Structure 1
């Protein structure tokens, strides 16, 4: 077991675990003694658990209710229960604004980014209660805190995640289950890889993350560390919160605005 938090005997499930934040978090939990379940609709999820002891990979659509039930059932059958669930799966939906996004885009982004975490909370909370309590985490975004950090459907879905964890924390009062959200800034993940690759091809990698006070993009491992904290007993009095991990971006949120009838400037 690596230093820091100790999750020996705990069972942790992470969705969106084929790459990026999800993969880093699975490995961080495993390094600290947890039995881990990595879930994703991408077959790369099997690579996430390569070399790990007491680990399971499950291919699912994290926004499909039958798949979510199957994930929870398989986990409980394999490891006897669930203590920690991190609903991390999400999609960007591109940079479309209100006047560009069609209903199909809105529907898919909300389905994956908001309905997915809602289904996870609905079905996993009773299993965590059975274990005497634990933690549910959801990936929101600084884009959910205020405008200017993502496309409109994406931003609205992540704002919904923040309210979802607040509502869930209230509805799970006295259950022993804490529910919190992590709001990443610009992190190099599968979802943002094209932007990172393009910047490197153009020799402009140093511009990534330049709008935050740290003047750099974040790493998946930095989000994983916050997930470990929120899932641990060290965060026993943290509940219903949205924690920004963004290099300070949300302290100001400088934006490029899309003005009605005019191109962005």
Structure 2
């Protein structure tokens, strides 16, 4: 078994399910000591599963967009595992399917707080601890929705576009620190965020249409994102910095969508 993260201290937010859970378990399987963080109490099950498999993990419930919670998370990881080597700011919310003109400032503020301010806080507070260890990696989950229109509701898309620029800016601001900052842009992945769409497709016998717009003609699995996350966090990606790595089955090579005309209801 590979052990790329033996002796490494790692934080993963949004670790209760989906991409976060898969990544936390993958880090632990390769020797990492993982702090699993999430607002959902199910994060404790993720940590328990890691420990049951012989790994090292502890769980913390928190609001990833609240600074006091992020500070506490970083302090916990530092105290428990001697510092921080990898920070994966993965926690996020979808915002539903609200159109641009139907959105409210409150909805926008909540999505931006979790999806964009959350990664900012993770970088702000984890980077100094990573620097203390001589360097390491910071990852953020963005989305193909942050690349261009057609893959998410307006506030979600805007928040993820912000994450992409945030990692670029952070990579520059941390120049000379030996801390690399990158984003992952998943396409359609089967997670709690997309569960309703997957369940509906299966209920009506249209599971074969899931992911039909990308060249691979399928949706992705959380483990497929986790493998990219581990690469970016490892020394194998030692010269990858300030990038948004797309993992979407080829969807964003064209971003095909069924466009709804303004003022008209889709048939």
The equivalent position to 1:128 in structure 2, one of 127, 130, 152, is 130
Aligned to 1:14: 12
Runs of 4+ in structure 1 displaced over 3 angstroms?
A: none
- What are the superposed Cα offsets for residues 117-172 of structure 1, whole Å, 9 maximum, x if unpaired? 00110111000000000000000000000000010110010000000000000000
Shift of 1:100: 1.4
Structure 1: segments with no counterpart, 5+ residues = none
The equivalent position to 1:173 in structure 2, one of 169, 172, 175, is 175
Aligned to 1:112: 114
Shift of 1:213: 0.1
Q: Within 2, Cα distance between the matches of 1:6 and 1:195? A: 35
- What are the superposed Cα offsets for residues 43-84 of structure 1, whole Å, 9 maximum, x if unpaired? 000111114232110000000000000000111111110000
Aligned to 1:27: 25
1:43 and 2:41 aligned: yes
Q: Within 1, Cα distance between the matches of 2:150 and 2:98? A: 12
Shift of 1:15: 0.2
Matches within 5 A, 1:55-66: 55-66=57-68
- What are the superposed Cα offsets for residues 182-218 of structure 1, whole Å, 9 maximum, x if unpaired? 0000000111111111111111111110000000000
Query: What SS does the aligned partner of 1:50 have?
Result: helix
Query: What SS does the aligned partner of 1:210 have?
Result: coil
Contact 1:256-1:264 within 8 A present in 2 as well: no
Shift of 1:262: 2.4
Q: More deviation in 229-238 or 92-101?
A: 92-101
The equivalent position to 2:161 in structure 1, one of 159, 162, 167, is 159
Matches within 5 A, 1:206-217: 206-217=208-219
Shift of 1:264: 4.3
Q: Within 2, Cα distance between the matches of 1:138 and 1:257? A: 29
Contact 1:89-1:112 within 8 A present in 2 as well: yes
Aligned to 2:192: 190
Q: Within 2, Cα distance between the matches of 1:156 and 1:264? A: 24
Shift of 1:6: 1.1
CA RMSD of aligned residues (A): 1.0
Q: Within 2, Cα distance between the matches of 1:259 and 1:132? A: 53
The equivalent position to 2:79 in structure 1, one of 77, 80, 93, is 77
Contact 1:182-1:245 within 8 A present in 2 as well: yes
Q: Within 2, Cα distance between the matches of 1:260 and 1:123? A: 43
Q: How many residues align?
A: 263
1:87 and 2:85 aligned: no
Contact 1:95-1:150 within 8 A present in 2 as well: yes
